[in-house]
Amino acid sequence: MFDRLDDLVLRYEDIMNEVSDPSVLADQSRYTSLMKEQSDIAPIVEAYKEYKKNKRNIEDSLVMLESEKDEEMREMLKEELSDSRKNVENLEERLKILLLPKDPNDDKNVIVEIRAGAGGDEAALFAAEIYRMYVHYAESRHWKVETMEVDEIGIGGMKSVTFMLTGKGAYSIMKYESGVHRVQRVPETESGGRIHTSTISVAVMPEAEDVDIHIDEKDIRIDVMRASGNGGQCVNTTDSAVRLTHYPTGIVIYSQTEKSQLQNKEKAFALLRAKLFDLEQQKAHDAEAELRKSQIGTGDRSEKIRTYNFPQGRVTDHRINLTLYKLDKIMDGDIQEIIDACIAADQAAKLSKMNENIA
C-alpha cells in the first residue's frame, strides 16, 4: 500500500509541474485531463502527508520521553503520543478506503426511472411521492433536475417517471437507490382502515455519452407525432413528440415533455443511450456474480431494498439493517443519512474483500 502511495505522491508532483508548462496550457484537452487526474489524487496525497506527519510525531515523542524528566512535560508528550497514534490508525483506514478501485461511472450524471409496481393507484401515488423526495434531495445538493418521461394518472400519481439529475458525483450517491421500494399505509380510498402494501421500482442509470455507446442508425426507427395529455401552448398542435424504437433490444422511448421536436429527440436519445449502457453493465455484473453480491450499490433490480411504514413513521433499509423514525423528513428529501450508511457499508464490504484477497 505504501509503495503505491509513494508513487501517487510522485505522480501528483509531476502533474503539478506539467500543468504549469506553457505547451500543456495551450492544449486544452491535455490540461483538462491532467487537472481531473490531479483532483482525483489530491485527497489521497493530502491524507498520506498527514499520515506521515503523525508518524514523525510518534517517533519524536518517543525519543523525547526517553530523556525528559519533568513529569508535567512527560504527561504532555504522552497525550501527544496518544493523539498521534489514534490519528495514524484513523488515517490508515481512510487511506485504504481512498485507494479502493473507483467506479468509473461515479462522476457521471444520472437518469432515474421510477415505475409503479404492485398496488394499482396506491403504487402510482407512492411513485409520485418518491419522485418528489428525490427532487427535494437534488435541490438540497444544488443538482439540476430535468424530467424526461412521465405517465401520470388523474389523481396525482405516476405510473412511471424518468428524470435526469445533473451534478457532481450524482451517480456515486444515487446508485444506492436502485431496487424495489415498498410502502405500508392505509390508502385514502380505503374505508376499512386496513394497511395496504404497495411497491415501486427505482432504476438509476449513469448518463452515457456517444463514446460510451454507439447507436447504429439502421437499428433505430424514429416516429414523430402530436403530444398527448394535458399540454400548454403548442404542445398538442404540432408534431413535437418523438418515439424511438431500438430493433435489437425492443426498447421503445417516448418523449413529449418539450415543445420542440428537436429537444424531445435529444432527450429520447439520451435515455436510449443510458438504457443500452445500463444493459451492458448488468451483463458485466451478471458475469461477476460474486462481486455483484458484495456491492450494495450495484445489486439486483428486483431486490427489495427499503420499506416506508407510515403507521409507525419509520423507514427501514433492509440491505444494511438501518431503521430511522423520521419518515416525514425522509419523504421531504432528507435521505443523506441512509445514503451515508449505504456508502459506509459498501466500503466496509470492499475492504473486507480486499483483505481476504491479501490474506
- Which pLDDT does position 290 carry in this prediction? 52
What is the average pLDDT across 96-121? Answer: 87
- Residue 111 — very low, low, confident or very high, per pLDDT cuts 50/70/90? very high
Which is nearest to 215 in space by CA: 253, 172, 262, 241? 253
* Whether pLDDT at 165 is above 60: yes
- The percent helix, strand, coil of the chain (3-state, each to 5) is 50, 20, 30
What is the average pLDDT across 257-262? Answer: 82
- Residue 291 — very low, low, confident or very high, per pLDDT cuts 50/70/90? very low
* Whether pLDDT at 245 is above 50: yes
CB 106 within 8 A of CB 172: yes
Q: Measure the CA angle with vertex 225, ends 220 and 228; round to 5°.
A: 120
For the chain, give the percent of residues with pLDDT over 70: 89
**Rounded CA separation 293/139 (Å):** 32
* Tens-place pLDDT, residues 40-93: 889 899 999 999 999 999 999 998 988 888 888 889 989 999 999 999 999 988
* Whether pLDDT at 273 is above 90: no
Ranges of each domain in the chain: 2-98, 107-359
* Whether pLDDT at 295 is above 60: no
**Backbone CA torsion sign across 293, 298, 301, 305:** positive
* Tens-place pLDDT, residues 320-341: 999 999 999 999 999 999 999 9
Q: Which of 4-8, 121-125, 149-153, 237-241 has the highest mean pLDDT?
A: 121-125
- Residue 293 — very low, low, confident or very high, per pLDDT cuts 50/70/90? low
* Whether pLDDT at 37 is above 90: no
**Rounded CA separation 218/247 (Å):** 9
Is the CATH number 3.30.70.1660 carried by domain 107-359? Answer: yes
pTM over 0.85: no
What is the helix (H) or strand (E) element at residue 152, kind and residue range? strand 144-152
- Which pLDDT does position 301 carry in this prediction? 56
- Which pLDDT does position 231 carry in this prediction? 45
Asked which of 158-162, 166-170, 171-175, 286-290 is least confident by mean pLDDT, the reply is 286-290
Average pLDDT, the chain: 85
